[in-house]
């Protein structure tokens, strides 16, 4: 079978052309050819179809090889070009090669035609592959392969261009938006890598439908998109666009039969900020996004310079916390959980404390949310879990005859769905010879509702091992209670905001009155958090609440104080005076008291009140 080849011949002689074709046929080719003898005809031929090679006479009456080469260049076509001429001098040949011809040969010596053609076709192929590779590299350098959107580098170039246009006063206002998918890491752990990627693609496609012609959408991080609003009327219109996008992304996505919903936090920088570096825009929008997120997920915020100062402080806090985890500047305090019927301490809640050399005592309410956001919570949580298990095990060894104590450990969303959690707990129970039922994990309702499927699987595995599950801060935020029936939960911890005014008639009392029987009907026990006064205690006891925790009984204590407390425990009764006196005596006797240093620092008034009760 002869090989097909598409040959464009530039020649005024049909006879000469046929000679060329004959020569190619002899060499094993099956040429499809067209002869042209004017620039217009050549143009038409180039427009009509692709050609593998051009064979051109050097000079014909209305045309020449150099003009033909110029036409190819004009059309940016890289087609092998061989001059086939009746006679050609060295100088002309050199000129033709300089103009871009690949080879030349004489009509009298056509035996060279086929080898020359083959070589040129091969080289053209190599050039083509090279070009494609370069093209691909360039594409990769400026695009995100997953979504096909421009990447950060390309986005920064676009901002740069837009800044220059503004400087030349060619356009009005513009804005840069930074979009971050809330809880993407958790989605990733619960749905798996592939579905999580599909979610990103689906988000990109949906965002594209909200673009105006002057806008540019890019993917600038794993779950981060950026949007250049190229032309906005006023600051409010940037805010309106952000609202519109957030509403659009709230509609759930259907992926592989699963319905996935997500929310997005957005930061906005307006061109009126006056930056002249594209990076500043992106960084500012990122900071504003973080600011929006601290106000709650799914919000947006417009950047101002105060946010920058705040972001720097936050970064410092993050760096310091990282170091604190590494250098073991963290420790745990343990707050007793007391049976309201017997007055006995039944267990402790481990609460992390960070004593920073410069900052002093940093509240977990300040660093836990940040640790969750940055992922530091994973290593922090691992440490907390291990330390809590170690302590409980030591207390058990020290007081083998004391009634069994439980240890409650707070677990954030990220920790619960972190792969390997179950294995880790198994290892810890084994290493510290703890019964699984002495370990209690405190998780919030929102974790269960936002990651329902993943959470259900993990809870089932925990239940198999008889590890206890407590719902922390119960009653805040969510009204859906259906999960209480479905999931293997042991305890509800009523949030302290409900306990605080329980001694007065009112809504809080009604809520607590409703929660306790509900819990009992589901065979759950109830811990009241934040019990601060005797009246609260008596009320809770009357309502049938089993357990209490709060400053009335004891602030969180350090290890030494816990040991002292356990040593006196058999003597303690629900007559609270005795109980509190026991703890207060320990706390006050020591100069460096065992009672929560953090509490001392933040609310020593409260402790004194408790102690003097
Ligand atoms: P939480 O789990 O609700 O912990 C109870 C908080 O209430 C503790 O604050 C405790 O010191 C405080 N508290 C105890 N009794 C009373 C009282 O009678 N009145 C009042 N007003 N407050 C009382 P803390 O230690 O500052 O912890 C704050 C939050 O930080 C915790 O809330 C928990 O969500 C989180 N957290 C603490 N330690 C850890 C940890 O190791 N891991 C994780 N993931 N989160 C932790
Ligand atoms: Ca808790
Ligand atoms: Ca709580």
Q: Which two tokens stand for residue 166?
A: 């503004």
Token output for 392: 């409980």
Work out the pLDDT band at 562, boundaries 50, 70, 90: very high
Question: Which of residues 411 and 369 earns the better pLDDT score?
Answer: 411
Question: Could you tell me the distance, in angstroms and rounded to a whole number, from the CA of residue 470 to the centre of ligand 3?
Answer: 10
**What DSSP character marks residue 349?**
E
What is the average per-residue pLDDT within 221-228? 96
**Phi, psi angles (nearest 5°) of residue 40:** -65, -40
- The band of 478, judged by pLDDT with boundaries at 50, 70 and 90, is low
Instruction: Output the CA 351–ligand 3 centroid distance in Å.
Output: 11
Helix (H) or strand (E) holding 216: strand 216-221
Residue pair 100/82 in contact (Cβ under 8 Å)? The answer is no
Number of the ligand closest to the Cα of 494: 3
Give the model's confidence band at 88: pLDDT under 50 very low, under 70 low, under 90 confident, else very high: confident
**pLDDT band at residue 89 under the 50/70/90 scheme:** confident
- Which of 69-73, 93-97, 359-363 shows the lowest mean pLDDT across its residues? 93-97
CA-closest residue to ligand 1 atom 33: 410
pLDDT above 50 (res 276):
yes
For residue 451, the model assigns a pLDDT of 75
pLDDT exceeds cutoff 90 at 475: no
CA angle 72, 125, 138 (to 5 degrees): 80
Tokens describing residue 164: 């220059």
Residue 99: the pLDDT is: 85
| Residues near 505 by beta carbon (within 8 Å), at least 6 away in sequence | none
In angstroms, how far is CA 572 from the centroid of its own chain?
50
- Which SS3 state, helix, strand or coil, does residue 405 take? coil
In this prediction, residue 570 has a pLDDT band, given cuts at 50, 70 and 90, of low
If you search the block for the tokens 């006995």, which residue do you land on?
Answer: 344
Question: Would you state the pLDDT for residue 340?
Answer: 95
Of 354, 368, 384, best ligand 1 pocket probe by most atoms within 8 Å of the beta carbon: 368
Burial of 13 from C-beta contacts in 10 A (0-12 / 13-18 / 19+): middle
pLDDT at 419 over 60: yes
Q: Is the pLDDT of residue 479 over 70?
A: no
- Give the side-chain half-sphere CA count within 13 A for 41: 13
Is-contact 377 371, C-beta < 8 A?
Answer: yes
Asked if residue 173 lies in contact with residue 233, where contact means CB atoms within 8 angstroms, the answer is yes
pLDDT at 219 over 70: yes
Q: What's the average model confidence in pLDDT over 66-89?
A: 91
Instruction: Give the number of the ligand closest to the Cα of residue 378.
Output: 1
Distance 351 CA to ligand 1 centre (A): 6
Beta strands in 249-400 (DSSP E): 253-255, 258-260, 264-270, 300-302, 330-339, 345-356, 360-362
| Lowest-confidence region among 68-77, 305-314, 329-338, 599-608 | 599-608
Joined tokens for residue 96: 């033709």
| SS3 assignment, position 549 | coil
Is-contact 217 149, C-beta < 8 A? yes
pLDDT at residue 136 above 70? yes
Mutate to test the pocket of ligand 1, among 321, 324, 362, 364 (most ligand atoms within 8 A of CB): 364
In the block, tokens 């907390």 appear at: 384
Residue partners of 349: CB distance under 8 A and separation at least 6:
334, 335, 337, 408, 409, 410, 442, 549, 556
Q: Is the pLDDT score of 4 beyond 80?
A: yes
Residue 33 pairs in a beta bridge with 7
Over residues 82-95, mean pLDDT: 84
Give the least confident one: 31-35, 38-42, 71-75, 400-404. Answer: 400-404
Ligand 1 atom nearest to CA at 556:
11
Q: Which of 53-57, 72-76, 535-539, 574-578 comes out lowest in average pLDDT?
A: 574-578
**pLDDT of res. 595:** 63
> Residue 443 and residue 455: Cα distance in Å, rounded?
10
pLDDT surpasses 80 at 1 = no
Say if CB 226 and CB 285 are below 8 A apart: yes
pLDDT in tens, 93-129: 888 888 899 999 998 889 999 999 999 999 999 999 9
Instruction: Collect all residues with Cβ–Cβ distance below 8 Å to 606 and sequence separation of at least 6.
Output: 532, 551, 555, 599
Pocket-testing residue among 351, 367, 407, ligand 1, by greatest number of atoms within 8 A of Cβ: 351
Per-residue model confidence (pLDDT) at position 592: 43
pLDDT at position 293 over 90 = no
Give CA–CA dist 557/86, Å, rounded: 104
DSSP lists the bridge partners of residue 216 as 228
For the chain, the residue count is: 613
Pocket of ligand 1 (CB under 6 A): 335, 350-352, 363-365, 368, 381, 384, 410-412, 442, 472-473, 496, 529-532, 550-551, 556
Give 143's DSSP letter.
Answer: B
What's the rounded Cα separation, in Å, for the pair 51 and 43? 12
Q: Which two tokens stand for residue 428?
A: 């810890």
Q: To the nearest whole number, what is the mean pLDDT of the chain?
A: 89
Q: Is the pLDDT of residue 153 over 70?
A: yes
């Amino acid at each position: 079978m002869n090989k097909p080849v598409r040959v464009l011949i530039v020649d005024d002689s049909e006879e000469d052309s046929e000679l060329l074709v004959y020569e190619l046929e002899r060499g094993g080719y099956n040429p499809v050819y067209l002869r042209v003898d004017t620039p217009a005809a050549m143009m038409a031929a180039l427009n009509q179809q692709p050609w593998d090679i051009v064979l051109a006479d050097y000079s014909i009456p209305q045309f020449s090889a150099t003009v033909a080469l110029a036409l190819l260049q004009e059309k940016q076509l890289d087609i092998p070009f061989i001059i086939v001429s009746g006679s050609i001098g060295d100088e002309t040949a050199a000129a033709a090669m300089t103009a871009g011809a690949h080879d030349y040969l004489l009509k009298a010596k056509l035996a060279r035609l086929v080898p020359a053609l083959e070589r040129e076709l091969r080289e053209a192929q190599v050039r083509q592959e090279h070009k494609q590779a370069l093209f691909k590299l360039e594409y990769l350098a400026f695009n995100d392969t997953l979504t096909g959107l421009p990447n950060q580098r390309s986005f920064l170039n676009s901002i740069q261009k837009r800044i220059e246009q503004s400087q030349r006063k060619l356009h009005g206002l513009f804005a840069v938006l930074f979009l971050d998918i809330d809880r993407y890491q958790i989605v990733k752990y619960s749905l798996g890598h592939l579905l999580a990627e599909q979610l990103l693609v689906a988000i990109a496609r949906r965002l594209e439908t909200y673009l105006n012609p002057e806008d540019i959408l890019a993917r600038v991080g794993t779950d981060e998109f950026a949007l250049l609003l190229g032309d906005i009327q006023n600051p409010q219109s940037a805010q309106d666009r952000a609202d519109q996008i957030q509403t659009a992304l709230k509609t759930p996505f259907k992926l592989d039969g699963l319905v996935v919903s997500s929310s997005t936090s957005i930061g906005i920088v307006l061109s009126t900020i006056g930056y002249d570096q594209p990076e500043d825009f992106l960084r500012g929008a990122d900071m504003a996004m973080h600011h929006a997120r601290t106000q709650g997920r799914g919000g947006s915020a417009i950047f101002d310079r105060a946010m920058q100062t705040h972001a720097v402080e936050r970064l410092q806090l993050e760096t310091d916390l990282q170091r604190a985890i590494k250098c073991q500047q963290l420790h745990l305090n343990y707050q007793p959980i007391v049976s309201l019927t017997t007055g006995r301490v039944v267990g402790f809640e481990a609460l992390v404390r960070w004593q920073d050399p410069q900052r002093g005592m940093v509240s977990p309410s300040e660093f836990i949310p940040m640790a969750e956001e940055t992922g530091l919570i994973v290593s922090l949580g691992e440490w907390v879990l291990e330390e809590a298990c170690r302590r409980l095990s030591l207390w058990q060894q020290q007081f083998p005859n004391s009634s069994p104590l439980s240890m409650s450990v707070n677990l954030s969303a990220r920790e619960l769905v972190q792969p390997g959690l179950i294995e880790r707990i198994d290892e810890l129970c084994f290493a510290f010879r703890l019964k699984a039922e002495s370990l209690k994990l405190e998780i919030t309702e929102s974790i269960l509702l936002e990651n329902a499927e993943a959470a259900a699987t993990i809870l089932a595995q925990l239940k198999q091992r008889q590890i206890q599950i407590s719902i922390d801060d119960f009653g805040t935020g969510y009204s859906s209670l259906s999960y209480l029936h479905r999931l293997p939960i042991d305890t509800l911890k009523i949030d302290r905001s409900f306990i605080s005014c329980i001694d007065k008639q009112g809504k809080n009392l009604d809520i607590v009155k409703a929660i306790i029987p509900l819990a009992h009907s589901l065979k759950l026990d109830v811990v009241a958090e934040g019990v601060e006064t005797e009246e609260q205690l008596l009320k809770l006891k009357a309502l049938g609440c089993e357990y209490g925790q709060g400053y009335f009984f004891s602030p969180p204590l350090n290890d030494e104080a816990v040991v002292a407390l356990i040593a006196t425990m058999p003597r303690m009764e629900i007559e609270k005076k005795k109980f509190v006196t026991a703890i207060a005596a320990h706390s006050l006797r020591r100069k460096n008291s065992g009672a929560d240093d953090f509490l001392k620092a933040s609310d020593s008034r409260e402790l004194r009140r408790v102690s003097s009760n």
